[in-house]
Amino acid sequence: MPNLIVIQIYTPIFGKKKISLYPYLFEISNLRQVGDFFCSTIFCLENNFLAVMIIFILHTNGIIMNFKRNFLLILAMGIGLMASAQSFSSVNVGNSNYKLGIQSVNIDVNGCTVTLNLNGEILDVYPARQAIKYYGRFDGIDKQGKLKSIGSIIFDYYDQFSSTEIQGKIKSINDLNITYYDRFQDANELGKIKSLGNTLISYYDRFDREEKIGKVKSIDGMGVDYFDRFSEDELIGNVKSIGDVIFSYFDRYDGEDRLGQLKQVSGDDNRIIVGIY
């Protein structure tokens, strides 16, 4: 049995993320001998991060041959696949009309974070340190003047051949397609983002309590709840929970100065970003 040396190389699209190698060891089946080494490439998804792991098993005998060339080939394959990845990343929770709720969503793509509000408008692209291009007058009125690309990130928009309520809205970011609720859905959902790739977003509609109508009901499998008419007046309309994350607020028993302001966030989910301003 050769000695086992594990070298884990991975490049999550955003930030460093520790990925346990142990669950994947049993999947090593496509071993290839490269001189003194046996190697295997494993691609996996963990917590929405695409990772490439290259496993080397050191063979006790033999001569190192063509190792550098094969290593670079495997590494290039992994990075190439990851460079094209884009997916929903997180939601931004903030204030609107003095009520705390989900205001925008983040999409990870090619080393950047693209932030959209719930109507599909681009709020921010970070970091935007690459060449930026815009659509011109020959691209149609629905695209003219809008962001076309940042480096390798391509933005497309719905045009005159689409329903009126979604014309001009962002249609895709690279291979990530974005859809919206149209005139065939509830009026309170009209024009809002329905899906980001495989990530679905639903909203409270006319069949729900008035103080919840139009607010996000679920996103990426996380249910979202809000304080309603049965809560203290200062809490009505504020987000109560997103998935397993619970929001609590200062109420009348805490004094008048901070009435209705966020007091504590309990739970942890890297898909939820809370900003207070």
**How far is Cα 96 from Cα 238, in angstroms, rounded to an integer?**
10
**pLDDT at 184 (0 to 100):** 82
Residue 79 has pLDDT above 80, yes or no: no
Residue 270 has pLDDT above 80, yes or no: yes
Angle subtended at Cα 203 by Cα 201 and Cα 207, rounded to the nearest 5 degrees = 145
Burial (Cβ within 10 Å: 0-12, 13-18, ≥19) of residue 220? buried
Closest by Cα among 21, 54, 58, 22 to 38? 58
Task: Tell me the pLDDT tens digit for each residue of 21-72.
Answer: 333 333 333 444 444 444 444 433 333 333 344 333 333 333 334 444 444 4
Which residues sit opposite 265 in a β-bridge? Answer: 247
Closest by Cα among 167, 164, 146, 145 to 155? 146
Give the pLDDT band (50/70/90) at residue 179.
Answer: very high
Among 52-66, 114-128, 174-188, the least confident range: 52-66
**What would the mean pLDDT of 105-127 be, rounded to a whole number?**
93
Task: Tell me the pLDDT tens digit for each residue of 182-211.
Answer: 888 888 899 999 999 999 999 999 889 999
Residue 76 has pLDDT above 90, yes or no: no
Task: Tell me the pLDDT tens digit for each residue of 242-257.
Answer: 999 999 999 888 888 8
> Which bin fits 175, alpha (ψ -120 to 50), beta or left (φ > 0)?
alpha
Which is more confidently placed, 32 or 10?
Answer: 32
- Annotated domain spans of the chain: 3-83, 87-274
Give the pLDDT band (50/70/90) at residue 277.
Answer: low
Residue 128 has pLDDT above 60, yes or no: yes
Closest by Cα among 132, 128, 101, 108 to 13? 108
